[in-house]
Structure formats: structure tokens, C-alpha cells
Amino acid sequence: GFRTQSCFNDIENHLGYRFEMNSGIFPTTAAVGGTMPVTLKITNTGFASPFNPRKTYVVLRNTSSGVEYSVQMTTDPRFWTPNALTTITENLQLPATMAPGSYKLYLKLPDNDAALALRPEYSIRMANENTWDAVKGMNDLKHTITIGATSKMAIAAAAAPKINIALYPVPTSESLTIEADGIRNMDISVSNSLGQSVTAEITSSDQSSASLNTAQLSDGVYFVSISGNGTRETRRFVVSH
């Protein structure tokens, strides 16, 4: 049967999802309140992907004080497809309240249920060896970064005017309305949960609203980014036909 033909172990090891960290690219330094570019390459060697929504965080733990800061990513593990390598590239905004110092990086995927989110046994554990922190429920990324004092660029970014954006309906099926003052003179781009650019027809009806045609987009999580006057804002939306 399955056991004598060595099939059972292979099936057992690949039931559900099974994430393996292939590599990660991180900077050696960053500034308080600044940005930290992160690239992760993760392979799902399982037969499936997670069914329920689940947030993804990069956790920075101060090597001296042990204080931790969690920065949420936009990637959605439900779209880390089976038998495929997923490359995730994001520019993470560091908290303006964190103390300068040396920090170890971790990847945390807690349960989305508030009652289970703080229980480490419900977090996703990577298949890599010697990376799991069973107390905190997170995966060691084997990288240490030095966070310096707030940079002038970070201060300028914090002071930059924000773009007020409204999206509806969410979830959407055929069309998504985007409202923002002066949107006709701004650049609009759409990406999927993997950070890949997506082509979709965008039409502006007036100075404050635009329509995004979502009829041809597959069901899933997407992000719309609006840029103008030195400011860029990104919002999440869901397509469900």
C-alpha cells in the first residue's frame, strides 16, 4: 500500500500548506520612522494554501531590551500557491516610536482570530530547521539590523500631506469607485497580493473620482496606489465575482 511504496510519508509531509523560507534580502541599517525594504522568497511545498485570512508581520526585537515592534506586511499567505516559489517585495514603514539600536528580525503569521492571535501554537511555523521561536510563535529570519535616529527624509515624509482616499464597494465585482481630490492629475496603479503589477482599465469621470474596471480580475486581494504631489497612498480592496 501507501506505506510500503514510500508514498505515505510524502503525502503526510505535504498535506495542507508547508512554507519554506528560501532566502531573504534586508538592509543592514535603517532609521526610526523611515522605511525598510524587504524581499522574501518563500516556497509552498504543500498541496494547498491557507483557507482563512491571516496577517503577516515582520517583528523587530531589540537585542538589548527585548522590546518588540511588529510591522504588518500587505502580502496574503492565502495566495502563496502550492508547489511554487513566491517572491514578496515590500517597503515597510518603521514605527516613529521605536528606540534606536540593534534588532533581530522575525516573521510572524498569527491566527486571525483575536482570541488565538497571541497563542504561539496557532501561528504558522516555517519548515526550516532552527528558526522557530516556540515562546513567541514566530520564525527567525537570521538577520540583525541597526536602527538609527530619525532621518531628515523620514521627518519630511511624515510632514508630507496625505491623500484622502475612499473606495467602494468593497468587496467589488464589476467596478471599483475611487474618490480623491485631484485624482484626474494623479497616477493610479494596481497590484495583486504578491506585489505584481496588474492591468486594469481606469477612467476618470471628474476631478475627484475614478472608476476601476475589475470585471476581468480574478477573485482575490488587490492594492490600488495613488501618487501625486510627492505623496503616495495605497489602499487594499477585494474582488469577488
pTM here is 0.61
Query: Residue 74 pLDDT more than 80?
Result: yes
Distance separating alpha carbons of residues 34 and 129, to the nearest angstrom: 32
49-73 as b/e, with b when 16 or more CB fall inside 10 Å?
Answer: bbeeebbbbbbbbbeeeeebbebeb
Average pLDDT score over residue span 175-187: 83
Tell me the per-residue pLDDT of 110-154, one tens digit each, with 9 for 90 and over: 999 989 998 999 999 999 999 999 999 999 999 999 999 865 555
What residues have CB less than 8 Å from 125, skipping those under 6 apart? Answer: 132, 137, 139
Domain boundaries, the chain: 7-154, 160-239
Average pLDDT score over residue span 173-186: 84
Closest CA to 106 of 136, 127, 84, 82: 136
Tell me the per-residue pLDDT of 77-112, one tens digit each, with 9 for 90 and over: 999 989 899 999 999 999 988 999 999 999 999 999
Give the right CATH number for 160-239 from 3.30.200.20, 3.30.70.20, 2.60.40.10, 3.30.70.3280.
Answer: 2.60.40.10
The domain 7-154: what is its CATH number?
2.60.40
Per-residue confidence (pLDDT) for residue 210, from 0 to 100: 87
Domains 7-154 and 160-239 share a fold: yes
| Percent of all residues in the chain with a pLDDT value above 90, rounded to a whole number | 51
CB 200 within 8 A of CB 213: yes
CB atoms within 10 A of CB 17: 20
Q: Within its chain, how far is the Cα of 229 from the centroid?
A: 26
Per-residue confidence (pLDDT) for residue 109, from 0 to 100: 95
CB 241 within 8 A of CB 173: yes
